Amino acid sequence: MTKAQVVVLVMGVALSVSFGFQKINPLSVSQQQAPQDTLTVLHDTVSKPEWVALYDSLDLKERGLSEAAFQYAWYGFHKMNLGKHIMAIADFSQSSTKKRLYVIDFIQKKLLLNTFVAHGRNSGQEFAKSFSNDNSSYQSSLGFYKTLGTYQGKHGLSLRLEGVEKGINDRAFERAIVMHGADYVSENFIRNTGRLGRSQGCPAVSIADHKKLIDLLYNGAGLFIYSQNQAYFKKSSLLAGLNLTKEKGQNLGASLLYTSAK
């Protein structure tokens, strides 16, 4: 064997050692981690405010109560520090032919009563449009009230009211604005006239419901009389913490970021 042949033989052995006899690990590729799909599904983290959850659970939209009216009532109620946890809401944005008075227990989370309520004779016909705090105006006054004691008057058992918003309804007591029963608050009256009867400014209710209503509200509950009245919203100190600007033709509060699913 020549020297050149020896060199070729040595090179061949070296190459066979490097390539021919090298052990290949069949798991070497699979053990390398392939890039993972890291798409994260973001869950809806928007939770219902407590007032929205209660509004939905009581089916108040289906019963006709304005969502704005309920939010304002909720907000004002928690600022009033009342003796009772019950609030009556008179939604005067509705026709008087509707059951627009809602009595709600905010702690027990129950709708206790839903019935008719009258507005003042000079506030409007079927709808209440004008409001006043003046004596002898025969108009309803908007805003928040605290209930006081009862007395027997010309309408029988009546519930005194204290208007707690200065310049808006604080003359309620001297005007003798009270809750009482009246025969003009009835479905028969609506059928005969196309509207509910009207009071001299009192939130009058039916004879059938007035005793039950007064028993629920007596001495320390709240009443909120609502209407889509911008002058009231701008003046009310109890609603001062809300953003009461118009958006898309509606009055929205600052916490109305969640839209009810119902």
pTM here? 0.77
Paired tokens of 201: 């400014």
Sheet with 86-91: strands ordered across: 110-115, 101-105, 86-91, 222-226, 143-153, 156-163, 178-182, 205-206
Q: What is the pLDDT of residues 163-217, one digit of tens each?
A: 999 999 999 999 999 999 999 999 999 999 999 999 999 999 999 999 999 999 9
Mean pLDDT within 116-142: 98
Crossing angle for the helix pair 67-80 and 50-57, nearest 10 degrees? 130
β-pair partners for 225: 90, 143
pLDDT for the residue 241: 76
Q: What is the pLDDT of residues 13-58, one digit of tens each?
A: 454 444 444 443 444 444 444 444 333 334 344 688 999 999 999 9
pLDDT for the residue 81: 87
* H-type alpha helices, the chain: 3-15, 50-57, 67-80, 187-193, 207-217, 230-235
Residue 145: Cβ within 10 Å count: 28
**Residues 184, 118 contacting (CB under 8 angstroms):** yes
Look at the block and give the residue holding tokens 């009810």. Answer: 260
Residue 24: Cβ-neighbour burial (10 angstroms; 0-12, 13-18, 19+)? exposed
Among 6-10, 57-61, 205-209, whose mean pLDDT is lowest?
A: 6-10
Predicted confidence band of residue 4 (pLDDT cuts 50, 70, 90): low
Mean pLDDT within 101-118: 97
Mean pLDDT within 60-83: 96
